[in-house]
Structures are given as structure tokens and as C-alpha cells.
């Protein structure tokens, strides 16, 4: 059997309640009692039982990280978010519970917030984000959305600026002389693609360039879809001379498909990806990409959540963080 507070009480000849207070640095406790109790706890090797404490306190010091798990992968993207989250959580004495959302995400979320297994939730991606948000909102469960914004005024989120990212990238291409620029999204990133293409349109408008709707595409999820989209784009009359892809793996697929089709990158076709994944630096030519502050997003989201947990009346955290454009060889060549 594990050592309990009762054992300590017997050991120091005091009541369990006093021991509890001493251990938790309760105000009305004598310094001497505190030190005796702490000493005893150390000697006996006492550790508070999590479940008992959770039950009584009505809080667990755990928060959940839920993410779409449709492709059975946890990507570099999620990892980098988690890094920020976990470091902040650890410091604040919180642990992170992983919730891969498969099957029926909404039912799963319901159970998560009703069983009290975590105090709050961080929401990344997932197919049913809007419904998930509505669900948690109506359950009054503390949560923060990661890397997506929300129009609902009381919903907390921390996101990179998808609109600005596209503006930045598109301007870069225009400055390089490109006039026919494609904008590639992905089915699983609907909201982001909307923001991106809006930024893209804005940058074109600034330069008085016309939008060719055939150059704005959203590809399906699986691998191969990017290559196919690329071939489709190259088949358009007056094909694009530049592509803005919604994430690096997609950009890399495009790059490889373009090369396979005999195009030189960036001379015949410039390509921009997003997220600054490792592979974007490893590929030849290196990939110009948008660098979102993922660890920072994770950190700020966690901090926002902690604030809400400490004070439920505190205002929601609504942050849109600037991104950086990393210019590499896929747009400007190696010279």
C-alpha cells in the first residue's frame, strides 16, 4: 500500500486535516507544524494520490490536446505546436493528455468534457471544427482553438495570420515578375484555404492583376493529389509561372511533378510552400516557405487556457500572429 496522509498524521501525531493543510501551505498553520509535516512526508516517501485529490478539488491539472487523426499520423506540424504547449503546461504544473479524434469526434469531445478527465482542451484541426467549437462552447468547457480563427466573439483561438501569409507570398511572386500565379489549397484545410485565397486575391488586386479562377484549386487529401493538380495546372492555356501551395508536402509534390514534366524550378515555375517543415530545407532546390510561429502558438494558447482556468470570467484569448516568409531557391534560384 502507498503512504497516505493518514500515515503521516499518525507518524507526527496530528490529525489528517492538519497534515493536509501543512502540505498545502495553508495560511493558518504554524511554521513548525509545516516543517515537521514536510519532513515526515519526505521520510515516509509520501506522494498525494492524484485521483483522490482530483475528486475533492474538482480539477485535474490536466489538459487535453485533441487533433484530427484521420491519416494516422502526427505530423511535424502538430509536434511543433505540442512542443510549445507541453513546455508551458509543464511549468504551470499541468500535464497534457492526447486525444486523437477518430470515428465520432463530437461524441468523444462530449465525453471528454463531461467526465472531467481534463480541465480544458486545446483543439487542433479535425474535420468538424465548427461543430466541435459549438459543442464545447455550449458546454461552457474551457478551450482554445489552435491555428484557426473563429468569428464567434467568445471563442478563444491563437492562430498564424493565414491571410497575411498569402499576401506576403503573393507579393513576393509578383515582385519577381510573375503574373500567372496558382493558389493551391487542400480539402482538409477549408477555412485556411479561404483565408489564403482571400489574401492571394488581395495581393493580385493591389497589383491590378486579374484573377483566373482556374488557378485557384483545392486538392483532395491523399498523396498524389498534389502531383495531379500540378499536371492539371500545367495543362491550362497560359499555365501559371508560380504556385502558392498551402503546405510544404503539397509544394514538394508540385515541385517534383513540375520537374518530372520538364520544368525548371524556379526558372520556369516558382513554388512557395508553407510551415517550414524540415523537408522544405532538404529538398533541392530548397523551398521558399511561410514560417508560422508554431511553438509560440502552442505556448500562447496554453497560456490563454491557463488564464481562463484560473479565472473563468477572464476575456477570451484571440490572437493572430504574424508569419515570416523564408525566401529560398524555389523562387529566387541559387545564385
Partner DNA sequence: TTGAAAGCGATACCAC
Partner DNA sequence: GTGGTATCGCTTTCAA
Question: Do residues 246 and 186 touch, judged by C-beta distance below 8 A?
Answer: yes
C-alpha cell at 316: 477570451
Contact between 15 and DNA by CB under 7 A: the answer reads: yes
Contact between 20 and DNA by CB under 7 A: the answer reads: yes
DSSP 8-37: HHHHHTS-HHHHHHHHTT-SSS-HHHHHHH
Q: Which does 222 bind (CB under 5 to 8 A by kind): its own copies, DNA, none?
A: none
Closest to DNA by CB, 36 vs 162, is: 36
Question: Do residues 181 and 204 touch, judged by C-beta distance below 8 A?
Answer: yes
Return the range that interacts with its own copies (CB under 8 A); candidates 47-55, 210-218, 312-320, 321-329: 47-55
Closest to DNA by CB, 52 vs 236, is: 52
Of the candidate residues 25, 28, 153, 235, the single one contacting DNA (CB under 7 A): 28
Contact between 57 and DNA by CB under 7 A: the answer reads: yes
Of the candidate residues 39, 49, 175, 187, the single one contacting its own copies (CB under 8 A): 49
- Residue 33's nearest CA partner among 19, 54, 50 is 19
- Residue 67's nearest CA partner among 93, 92, 87, 97 is 97
Q: What distance in Å separates the CA atoms of residue 208 and residue 38, rounded to the nearest whole number?
A: 72
Instruction: Indicate the SS3 state at residue 269.
Output: coil
Of the candidate residues 22, 41, 82, 242, the single one contacting its own copies (CB under 8 A): 82
Return the range that interacts with DNA (CB under 7 A); candidates 50-58, 71-79, 209-217, 251-259: 50-58
Q: What distance in Å separates the CA atoms of residue 289 and residue 250, rounded to the nearest whole number?
A: 12
Q: Which does 98 bind (CB under 5 to 8 A by kind): DNA, its own copies, none?
A: its own copies
Q: What distance in Å separates the CA atoms of residue 29 and residue 238, rounded to the nearest whole number?
A: 81
Instruction: Indicate the SS3 state at residue 44.
Output: helix
Q: How far is the CB of 263 from its own copies (least distance, A)?
A: 16
Q: How far is the CB of 50 from DNA (least distance, A)?
A: 8
Return the range that interacts with DNA (CB under 7 A); candidates 23-31, 173-181, 256-264, 314-322: 23-31
62, 63, 67, 69: CA torsion to nearest 10: 10
Q: What distance in Å separates the CA atoms of residue 94 and residue 115, rounded to the nearest whole number?
A: 18
Q: What distance in Å separates the CA atoms of residue 240 and residue 270, rounded to the nearest whole number?
A: 9
Q: Which does 205 bind (CB under 5 to 8 A by kind): its own copies, DNA, none?
A: none
Contact between 17 and DNA by CB under 7 A: the answer reads: yes
Q: By rule CB under 7 A, what count of residues binds DNA?
A: 29
Closest to its own copies by CB, 178 vs 299, is: 299
Closest to its own copies by CB, 7 vs 54, is: 54
Closest to its own copies by CB, 111 vs 238, is: 111
Q: How far is the CB of 117 from its own copies (least distance, A)?
A: 4
Residues numbered 167-226 forming contacts with its own copies, rule: CB under 8 A: none
Q: How far is the CB of 33 from DNA (least distance, A)?
A: 4
Q: What distance in Å separates the CA atoms of residue 170 and residue 167, rounded to the nearest whole number?
A: 5
Contact between 42 and its own copies by CB under 8 A: the answer reads: no
Query: 266 preceded by cis ω (within 30°)?
Result: yes
Instruction: Indicate the SS3 state at residue 96.
Output: strand
Contact between 48 and DNA by CB under 7 A: the answer reads: yes
Q: Which does 83 bind (CB under 5 to 8 A by kind): DNA, its own copies, none?
A: its own copies
Contact between 4 and DNA by CB under 7 A: the answer reads: yes
Phi, psi (deg, nearest 5) at residue 115: -85, -10
Of the candidate residues 12, 133, 215, 252, the single one contacting its own copies (CB under 8 A): 252
Amino acid at each position: 500500500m502507498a503512504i497516505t496522509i493518514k500515515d503521516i498524521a499518525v507518524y507526527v501525531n496530528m490529525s489528517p486535516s492538519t497534515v493536509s493543510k501543512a502540505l498545502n501551505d495553508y495560511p493558518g498553520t504554524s511554521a513548525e507544524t509545516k516543517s515537521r509535516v514536510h519532513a515526515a512526508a519526505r521520510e515516509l516517501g509520501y506522494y498525494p494520490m492524484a485521483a483522490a485529490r482530483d475528486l475533492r478539488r474538482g480539477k485535474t491539472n490536466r489538459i487535453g490536446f485533441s487533433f484530427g487523426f484521420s491519416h494516422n499520423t502526427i505530423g511535424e506540424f502538430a509536434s511543433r505546436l505540442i512542443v510549445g504547449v507541453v513546455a508551458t503546461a509543464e511549468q504551470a504544473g499541468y500535464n497534457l493528455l492526447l486525444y486523437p479524434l477518430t470515428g465520432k469526434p463530437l461524441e468523444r469531445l462530449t465525453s471528454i468534457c463531461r467526465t472531467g478527465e481534463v480541465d480544458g482542451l486545446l483543439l487542433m484541426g479535425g474535420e468538424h471544427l465548427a461543430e466541435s467549437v459549438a459543442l464545447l462552447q455550449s458546454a461552457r468547457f474551457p478551450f482554445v482553438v489552435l491555428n484557426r480563427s473563429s468569428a464567434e466573439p467568445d471563442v478563444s483561438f491563437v492562430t498564424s495570420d493565414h491571410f497575411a501569409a498569402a499576401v506576403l507570398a503573393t507579393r513576393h511572386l509578383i515582385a519577381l515578375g510573375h503574373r500567372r500565379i496558382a493558389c493551391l489549397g487542400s480539402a482538409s484545410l477549408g477555412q485556411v484555404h479561404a483565408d489564403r485565397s482571400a489574401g492571394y486575391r488581395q495581393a493580385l488586386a493591389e497589383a491590378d492583376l486579374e484573377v483566373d479562377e482556374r488557378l485557384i484549386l483545392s486538392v483532395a487529401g491523399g498523396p498524389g493529389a498534389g502531383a495531379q493538380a500540378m499536371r492539371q495546372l500545367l495543362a491550362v492555356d497560359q499555365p501559371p509561372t508560380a504556385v502558392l501551395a498551402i503546405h510544404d508536402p503539397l509544394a514538394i509534390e508540385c515541385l517534383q511533378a513540375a520537374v518530372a514534366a520538364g520544368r525548371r524550378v524556379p526558372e520556369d515555375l516558382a513554388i512557395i510552400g508553407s510551415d517550414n517543415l524540415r523537408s522544405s530545407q532538404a529538398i533541392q532546390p530548397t523551398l521558399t516557405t511561410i514560417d508560422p510561429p508554431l511553438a509560440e502558438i502552442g505556448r500562447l494558447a496554453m497560456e490563454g487556457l491557463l488564464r481562463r482556468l484560473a479565472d473563468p470570467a477572464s476575456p477570451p484569448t484571440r490572437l493572430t500572429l504574424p508569419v515570416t516568409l523564408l525566401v529560398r531557391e524555389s523562387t529566387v534560384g541559387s545564385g
